[in-house]
Structure 1
């Protein structure tokens, strides 16, 4: 597939499925014109519109239909809504920005966009999220890699005028030739080819923290629920957090529950006495930018990395109690190894 690298006059379409994707997409949109946000959840749409009500934004979510061949019928409906919306804009070129090219809500867009606009008039760009900002997730076996690369159009897809585009390189398709650019967080080490990467325009210089009264944000986690920490170990972590905040003479303490804890009504881990519970539907990334804290504290989370790279030296980002986490996954140690590199303080 031949894809042009620069299309400044194109329509920029952001497929937003998380708080980080919202913030990253917004930083790109601030530097561009002709932007439209396709949000997978209503709260993400609300976040986009709260930043700039003039931006075009819609909630369009892929949902499997009930009954026979429900997934394919859901894809058809999803694509119809997206491309009906895009057809209302006059631009004949389109830049897509998404987290991956894998999965029904992303991959089927590729063939449909190429068919509608022409391969020379579309680009597909990746904004990695979570651990994908750091490391490439390769196929676990050559057999799985070959199966994805040689995937053929099934007769069922053909019946619904669908085509799933094969890809290569890695499990998320980020290294595929289909992908034009990979947008990375400035200052963060990663494994992607430099020639294909462009740093997100993080507005670090415009962020200001501190008004004379020290303010801290504790990020809730689900470590006990995920069996990565016992309740006694969580209590020990909370004591460490309280001691740290006391030594720093922090006056205002806020607690932001983990999204999973709010949705499934599980205990709010790391909540300490005296902290003000944050009742906000905003993604953490947007709440963090709006409030701008002197300290951001948790145990182990990519959110700490995001906070440090967004705020730099303006905010002290602190990992407390990571030594008590019962984790041996590559994801844990890959993230943890970055803390010292980018200036996250570690109190085990």
Structure 2
């Protein structure tokens, strides 16, 4: 029986997870990688996949002319079907299935590939994956409206479902991949814990300079903090590193952290050509600091007790709700990240 595993990824974390799934959970399957964020092209290694391609997101990159979004959806189906080829069974991996760019593949791809069966499997998406996001009545209605596309294109038949918007409760989902050490609210029967996303980190060298990493993110740009709160957090980080007798501080900004909001004079700015999560695996730091970046969690998982990892300014972060603050705080603390 021929099996094809398709991975729809939009972040370095999802890409690393897809690599581990392909290596440990999809033996013998044809491995097809589809990325839909252009920036991921820099980290994709085509030689590791049987087939791979960039897929434009229909809403943000429609084809020119009338009904460009609709035609892009149909073109994307043809693209992925050609890469997957004929098969008996399909395994679709995505971080979420309540989006037309991915959902239509649940019915369209088996028909295009001649597959008899299909299983949907959910990729981890960092801190977002620790909570459930129930579909609202409005979103349920939107699902049914999307089914109208089949009147013009029979292959675009939207698969409706209830419960969690990522699809964890849906009948088509048989597996939900979760990260080691991170709590979640998914059904235990479906949850599968991935092995570590990176190799064992480099060990500290006796007598080497004490190094620290500051992980930036667009705090004011994303409305997570006001300017005063952001400045206070950056000063607190600098003081904390000084108290740890750090000799060298590296700064890794977020791709959308154009202002380098947590950067301070004397920090060395990193420009990496690979995901931060995998780069951490072959570097050692005595301390890692930031605000609420999920990279802090992975740093703690990789380095363990040898490295202090701390998150600053949580009393000034604008959370969406008290429940979100409580849940995310619990995750950071459970992973051993100090909230300062």
Same fold (TM over 0.5): yes
SS of structure 2 residue aligned to 1:271 = coil
- TM-score normalised over the length of structure 1: 0.84
Show the counterpart of 1:190: 184
- TM-score normalised over the length of structure 2: 0.86
In terms of fraction of residues, the more helix-rich structure is 1
What per-residue deviation string (whole Å, max 9, x for no partner) do you get for residues 114-166 of structure 1? 324566432110013134320100123xx336536756731x43322311111
Aligned 8 A contact 2:144 2:158 in 1: no
RMSD: 2.6
Could you tell me which of 144, 150, 158 is aligned with 1:157? 150
Unaligned 5+ residue runs, structure 2?
none
Per mean C-alpha deviation after superposition, the further-off stretch among 102-111 and 290-299 is 290-299
Question: 1:277 offset after TM fit, Å?
Answer: 0.6
Task: Give the 3 Å change call, closer, same or farther, for CA 344–179 of structure 1 in structure 2.
Answer: same
Separation in 2, partners of 1:120, 1:312: 45
Show the counterpart of 1:76: 74
Show the counterpart of 2:42: 46
Task: Give the 3 Å change call, closer, same or farther, for CA 75–273 of structure 1 in structure 2.
Answer: same
Separation in 2, partners of 1:145, 1:101: 12
Show the counterpart of 1:301: 293
What per-residue deviation string (whole Å, max 9, x for no partner) do you get for residues 278-305 of structure 1? 1224333233334353322101222322
For 1:319-338, list aligned pairs within 5 A. 319-329=311-321, 330-338=323-331
Q: Give aligned pairs, total.
A: 329
Task: Give the 3 Å change call, closer, same or farther, for CA 204–128 of structure 1 in structure 2.
Answer: closer
Unaligned 5+ residue runs, structure 1?
1-6
Task: Give the 3 Å change call, closer, same or farther, for CA 46–92 of structure 1 in structure 2.
Answer: farther
For 1:1-348, list aligned pairs within 5 A. 10-31=3-24, 32-33=27-28, 34-49=30-45, 53-56=47-50, 57-62=52-57, 63-87=61-85, 91-117=87-113, 120-140=116-136, 143-144=137-138, 146-147=140-141, 153-154=147-148, 156-161=149-154, 162-202=156-196, 206-212=200-206, 213=208, 214-262=210-258, 267-329=259-321, 330-347=323-340
SS of structure 2 residue aligned to 1:30 = helix
